[in-house]
């Protein structure tokens, strides 16, 4: 990840501010506020603002007057109770705002989470940066044979090199054409003074989806956890998972008690259907249970067995 001198100076100026507030703050999050945390080859995540902390959740749940009306251990118990029983509205009282730099194809996947306020870099107004995402060899994989939206075996040798060369050359060519259509280079200089540049809103359509864009993404704590539960999962696409993992670390710094409950009940826990619950109860009693008589599909059966570590019963 590369920052321009102007960007680095702006972050330095933001971090050097000394503002006093009567509102609650998260000390660990304050330490990384405004910092550009690298993601992928040119991307980053920055926390630029937030509101509330763990005590804000407790306060809104109790509708109390202020912080510190109960012991920390009691607050922790309440947050776990709220998480465990899906009492979600108190988590909506906290909000956070991120500045994210990411490839366009990941942004289009990310925007499907329609529970945030988003303002994206305008390619109608400004020229996009000359930066493209290129997968590392470890993440350059073939289409999975069993999952239509996943990856299979890693490409190797000449095939991997050929694919990476195509991705790089296509991105560079389309960006060069983009500059030619604009009649303006990335640095702002004119290419041919005798030509008119095409409108930026039209020239941008020729760019590849691995071109980087940026946006400000603001959401409440509940919807952030919903996003992270899906995108920090092992089944999520690697590139968006890289961003989610970074944001998961900021969640831990912001609301550590909520983070612990989230990892326990949402990430590490599992949901069981009524039929699945009955099967587990029978297995505990030592009764013989098979998939044919369970009322579950093959996929449901295998997911249940994996969730409880019963891999010897997979079909």
Active-site residues: which are they?
A: 231
Q: What percent helix, strand, coil does the chain show, rounded to 5? A: 50, 15, 35
DSSP 130: S
The answer to whether the beta carbons of residues 86 and 265 sit under 8 Å apart is: no
Q: Which residues contact 261 (CB under 8 A, 6 or more apart)?
A: 79, 80, 82, 83, 84
Q: Is the dihedral of CA 224, 227, 230, 234 positive or negative?
A: negative
CA-closest candidate to residue 289, choices 306, 299, 276, 300: 276
Please name which of 59, 56, 62 lies closest in space to residue 221, comparing C-alpha atoms: 56
d(CA 66, CA 69): 7
**Pair of tokens at residue 17:** 């501010």
The partner residues of 184 in beta bridges, in order of sequence, read 190
Residue 215: name the closest of 106, 94, 92, 91 by CA. 106
Dihedrals phi, psi of 47, to nearest 5 degrees = -85, 120
Q: Report the run of H or E that residue 99 belongs to, with start and end.
A: strand 95-103
Give the 3-state secondary structure of residue 110.
helix
Q: Is the dihedral of CA 303, 308, 309, 314 positive or negative?
A: negative
- Measured CA to CA, the distance from residue 246 to residue 166 in angstroms comes to 29
């Amino acid at each position: 990840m590369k920052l321009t001198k102007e960007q680095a100076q702006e972050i330095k100026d933001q971090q050097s501010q000394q503002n006093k507030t009567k509102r609650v703050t998260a000390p660990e999050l304050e330490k990384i506020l405004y910092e550009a945390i690298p993601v992928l080859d040119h991307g980053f995540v920055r926390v630029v603002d937030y509101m509330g902390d763990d005590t804000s959740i407790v306060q809104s749940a109790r509708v109390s007057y202020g912080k510190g009306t109960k012991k920390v251990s009691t607050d922790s118990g309440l947050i776990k109770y709220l998480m465990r029983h899906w009492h979600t509205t108190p988590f909506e009282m906290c909000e956070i705002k991120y500045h994210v730099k990411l490839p366009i194809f990941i942004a289009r996947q990310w925007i499907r989470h329609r529970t945030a306020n988003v303002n994206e870099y305008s390619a109608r107004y400004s020229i996009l940066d000359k930066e493209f995402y290129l997968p590392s060899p470890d993440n350059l994989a073939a289409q999975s044979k069993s999952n239509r939206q996943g990856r299979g075996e890693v490409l190797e040798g000449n095939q991997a090199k050929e694919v990476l060369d195509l991705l790089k050359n296509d991105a560079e060519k389309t960006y060069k054409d983009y500059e030619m259509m604009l009649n303006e280079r990335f640095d702002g200089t004119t290419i041919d003074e005798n030509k008119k540049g095409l409108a930026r809103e039209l020239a941008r359509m020729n760019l590849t989806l691995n071109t980087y864009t940026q946006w400000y993404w603001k959401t409440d704590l509940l919807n952030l956890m919903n996003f992270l539960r899906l995108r920090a999962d092992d089944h999520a696409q690697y590139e968006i998972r890289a961003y989610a993992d970074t944001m998961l670390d900021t969640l831990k710094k912001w609301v550590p008690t909520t983070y612990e409950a989230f990892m326990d009940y949402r990430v590490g826990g599992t949901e069981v259907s009524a039929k699945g619950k009955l099967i587990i109860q029978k297995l505990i009693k030592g009764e013989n249970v098979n998939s044919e008589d369970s009322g579950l599909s093959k996929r449901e059966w295998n997911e249940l067995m994996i969730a409880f570590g019963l891999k010897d019963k997979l079909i």
